Structure 1
């Protein structure tokens, strides 16, 4: 699959993968700083953003998509970074193609299995009657019945686009809803990436816990971890300066 991506800057290539329900746009503010030192590739993963939709959606095919992009762009070795679902894609890619990853950065996700915890979000998104609503405000009103936090609703509604017939989802909502279990799947037990790896964890997030460290060490023996203070799971949105600082320090 030919993924949509945005390229900017100059220097060694740094590829960034967004999380579930996100897109390349989530990383624009951070990219504006990092592109001063690196060639940034902000990727829309399949079924997200402006990349194609497909019925098959799992980490195996997302790794294959990424490899195709690397080959098309002539990227023999990159710095690879991913957040949440994108972090799982990045980890799986590093295990499958370690020779293509010079350094790996994983933002607020561990290699383990995560149980499904997006049911309320999916119910809310599926409740919006796209054929009937006339404005984003109406969509937000529908979503507010399921999600109290305005910031989360604003993030989710970034995936609401328009065509000549009205509102449409840029995410492949039916396939994501059907296959949501795929997002939480653990890495292969025998997989190992020996290159330098940085885990960035939100200090207020529960996605990476002390109990995850042995599993992280098993898969990524050359790892280090930094906790971003006063940040939750969306650490790059909550504390972008701290994330930029840690990324620059690690990639040097």
Structure 2
């Protein structure tokens, strides 16, 4: 499956050996959610932010991490972006890890944002099961979208995240593959059984939010086994949405890591 791509790059030509950067958003997000870091990196590098399947403007279909990793690989190849440095947040981080483990030659370096290769994540997105049964009016604007979602989603941040996934104007509705996403939630929250001995030896950076529970000491052994050439950085005061809570420090860590990639 070829994914929708938002590409940015510098105004001047980049060196022929400059590696592109692929950016992968989290659950119920879309490519533009990583816009701040993409804009910063695009001043010196080619960047490709992708809508993962069932999200943004990408096609819909059954979800699993192997399938999503294959989507990313196919889209990278289609856009002549192999190998690349791959950065993923949350669900996008698990997709990036799966890509690096199964197709290491396509991933020159890996950045995983606030998620571990394990069960966990997404408890702030405790969505009602009947979200896909919402009755939409004949016309909807942003204010009306917020009012429509409020009885279902009390958390303001989560409600705003979900609002971007609703088609507004005349004939409104879900713009994403919501039934496919909800059906895949156990797999999305989990981590698949891997073949024995599988690991990624490339340079890897894990970035966690200090106030987030999704990377903890109990995850360190599997992180070391799968990604032996990794380091872990923690951002003070940040939660799960690290890139939104501390965008400058987050971008600083990413740029420092990229500067060390040959």
Q: TM-score, with normalisation over the residues of structure 2?
A: 0.89
Give yes or no for contact 1:124–1:143 (8 Å, CA) kept in 2: no
Alignment correspondent of 1:186: 191
**8 Å contact from structure 2 (residues 142, 168) kept in 1:** no
Moved more, 56-65 or 92-101: 56-65
Cα distance 1:140–1:124, how it changes in 2: closer, same or farther (>3 A)? farther
1:236 match: 243
2:177 matches 1:176: no
Q: How many residues align?
A: 250
Q: Which moved more, 1:136-145 or 1:92-101?
A: 136-145
Residue segments in structure 1 that go unaligned for 5+ positions in a row: none
122 and 19 in structure 1: CA distance in 2 versus 1, 3 angstrom threshold: farther
Kindly indicate whether the alpha-carbon contact (under 8 Å) linking 1:133 and 1:139 is maintained by their aligned counterparts in 2. no
Deviation at 1:25, TM superposition (A): 1.0
Indicate conservation of the 8 Å contact 2:149/2:159, yes or no.
Answer: yes
**In structure 1, what is the equivalent of residue 3 of structure 2?**
3
Q: CA deviation at 1:186?
A: 1.6
RMSD: 2.0
Paired residue secondary structure (2:112): strand
For 1:14-163, list aligned pairs within 5 A: 14-54=21-61, 56-114=62-120, 117=123, 120-123=126-129, 125-126=131-132, 128-131=134-137, 134-162=140-168
The CA distance in 2 between the partners of 1:189 and 1:204, in whole Å, is 32
The two structures have a TM-score, normalised by structure 1, of 0.92
State the distance in 2 between where 1:162 and 1:134 align.
5
Bigger drift between 130-139 and 170-179 goes to 130-139
